[in-house]
């Protein structure tokens, strides 16, 4: 598909309202799609929807394919006869604005297990078809069941070396021993994707496309690294990483960002014709209409940090697969619209690769506050083949930036963007983004609501993120009408 001149809103699924501690695929998600339609929007951008691991970041998941079980809507399970209404009252959460992941971990799985016991035979036929269509499910459900058996420790710390190194005899032993847990984790994925695909159909039927994120790396503690170690730069005998991923010092952190993900063995992948990546993209392509490729510059060159380092400062640049891999994206997946997240340390080589790919890159207005006017993020430097944002999930909402900005940068913004309090500084930025020549303008929901830094989704390099949520009272017809009017005035009406 081709992105036409339109607009969308960025709101993670976990940020939707809910009485059960986190946003889900239920009623509030459908209501948000209705809001998008009223607001004359064409896209809903969500973050990765995977099963999150330690730190709760959607960019650190146990699997490249598995959905987050927390997103399974409990009210829909009641409608399906898998839960009882009175069981839900026991887990109501009073704080509707922040996510308590510790509480979720302790309380969500027991109630989902009840749904599994009641639903496994009821949905047996559909479940078996789902397993047949999703070959990744075996490794994932085995991995999760074994993790549970070993108190959720990383697979690198599993005390049984035979299963840690995935020996055939050990696999058969644990498959029999953990049969119930293996089926439980697999069934949760059946429930997740049953609900997700119904929601996606509703969105698409109403003219809303889903933009999803594809993290460039997978988590070290993931079923892919455990099951397919040859795809990664690991020590042959121990499967411990040689180096790990990160980025050098930048505008987010003076120490750089130490992500800790294992690096790909691109030489092996090339010999294997990138089969692992092709399977991953085929899977993700089922669930998103547009895929935003996280950290696109890592395909040109990636930052490799010695395993065990405390910061990312002392890493090194290593050449990536570059055009050879981009050709796979273009030629093997012509029906997928990609967005290249081209932020960070961008060199001429990266810009050349982006141009070669023909994928739209990103322009972020919050990065344009250079009083010299030289930033390529400034609207006068935008090109049609790009996606304009005011800020991303890694930035404070724009009113938070206004509150904490340096005086000279704020004065420049007032002059350049014509900020005025009558319109509202946030809507001055929204108007500028809407007027950009970029084919697509995407705005965080927080910016439409005029929220400050307290509504930040993620501060890179820190823990305790991914918690902000709508309370359920913010979205209304008046706001939708106001947004729709701006959209129409800037020729971004729904196509």
Instruction: Point out the residues that are catalytic.
Output: 294, 341, 394
Closest by Cα among 398, 403, 325, 324 to 367 = 398
Say which residues have a Cβ less than 8 Å from residue 174's Cβ, sequence separation at least 6.
142, 145, 146, 149, 163
Q: In this structure, are residues 41 and 474 in contact, taking their beta carbons and an 8 Å threshold?
A: no
- Give how far Cα 332 sits from Cα of 65, 270, 354, Å: 19, 14, 18
Q: Are 466 and 457 in contact (CB under 8 A)?
A: yes
CB 23 within 8 A of CB 190: no
In 91-249, the DSSP E strands lie at 209-214, 243-247
Within 10 A of 87 (CB to CB), how many other CB atoms are there?
Answer: 15
DSSP annotation string for 334-377: TTPEEEE---SS--HHHHHHHHHHT--EEEEGGG---TTS--TT
Torsion of CA 397, 400, 402, 403, to 10 degrees: 180
Place of tokens 């910016």: 447
For 163, the token pair is 């299963």
**Closest to 389 in 3D by CA, of 292, 269, 264, 308:** 292
Q: What are the residues whose beta carbons fall under 8 Å from the beta carbon of 326, sequence distance 6 or more?
A: 299, 353, 356, 357
């Amino acid at each position: 598909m081709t992105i036409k001149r339109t607009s969308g809103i960025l709101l993670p699924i976990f940020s939707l309202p809910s009485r059960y501690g986190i946003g889900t695929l239920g009623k509030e998600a459908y209501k948000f799609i209705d809001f998008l339609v009223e607001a004359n929007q064409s896209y809903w951008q969500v973050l990765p929807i995977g099963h999150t691991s330690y730190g709760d970041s959607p960019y650190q998941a146990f699997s490249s394919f598995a959905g987050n079980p927390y997103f399974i809507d409990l009210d829909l399970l009641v409608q399906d006869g898998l839960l009882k209404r009175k069981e839900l009252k026991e887990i109501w959460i009073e704080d509707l604005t922040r996510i308590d992941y510790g509480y979720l971990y302790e309380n969500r799985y027991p109630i989902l297990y009840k749904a599994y016991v009641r639903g496994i035979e009821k949905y047996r036929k559909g479940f078996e078809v789902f397993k047949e269509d999703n070959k990744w499910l075996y490794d994932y459900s085995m991995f999760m069941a074994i993790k549970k058996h070993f108190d959720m420790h990383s697979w690198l710390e599993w005390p049984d070396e035979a299963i840690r190194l995935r020996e055939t005899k050990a696999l058969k032993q644990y498959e029999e021993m953990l049969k119930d847990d293996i089926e439980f984790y697999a069934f949760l994925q059946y429930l997740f994707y049953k609900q997700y695909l119904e929601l996606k159909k509703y969105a698409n039927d109403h003219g809303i496309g889903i933009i999803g994120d594809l993290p460039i790396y997978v988590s070290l503690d993931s079923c892919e690294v455990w099951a397919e170690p040859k795809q990664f730069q690991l020590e042959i005998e121990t499967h411990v990483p040689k180096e790990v991923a990160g980025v050098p010092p930048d505008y987010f952190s003076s120490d750089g960002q130490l992500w800790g993900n294992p690096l790909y063995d691109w030489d092996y992948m090339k010999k294997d014709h990138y089969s692992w990546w092709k399977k991953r993209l085929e899977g993700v392509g089922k669930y998103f209409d547009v895929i935003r490729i996280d950290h696109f510059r890592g395909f040109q060159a990636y930052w490799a940090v010695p395993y065990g380092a405390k910061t990312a400062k002392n890493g090194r640049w290593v050449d990536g697969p570059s055009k050879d891999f981009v050709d796979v994206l273009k030629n093997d997946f012509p029906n997928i619209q990609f967005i290249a997240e081209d932020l960070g340390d961008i060199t001429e080589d990266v810009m050349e690769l982006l141009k070669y790919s023909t994928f739209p890159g990103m322009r972020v207005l919050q990065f344009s506050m250079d009083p010299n006017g030289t930033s390529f993020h400034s609207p006068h430097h935008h090109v049609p083949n790009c996606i304009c944002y005011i800020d991303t999930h890694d930035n404070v909402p724009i009113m938070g930036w206004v509150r904490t900005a340096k005086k000279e940068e704020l004065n420049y913004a007032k002059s350049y963007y014509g900020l005025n309090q009558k319109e509202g500084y946030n809507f001055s930025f929204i108007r500028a983004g809407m007027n950009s020549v970029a084919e697509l303008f995407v705005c965080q929901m927080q910016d439409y609501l005029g929220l400050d830094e307290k509504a930040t989704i993620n501060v890179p390099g820190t823990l305790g993120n991914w918690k902000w949520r709508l309370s359920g009272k913010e979205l209304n017809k008046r706001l939708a009408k106001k947004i729709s009017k701006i959209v129409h005035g800037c020729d971004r009406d729904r196509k």
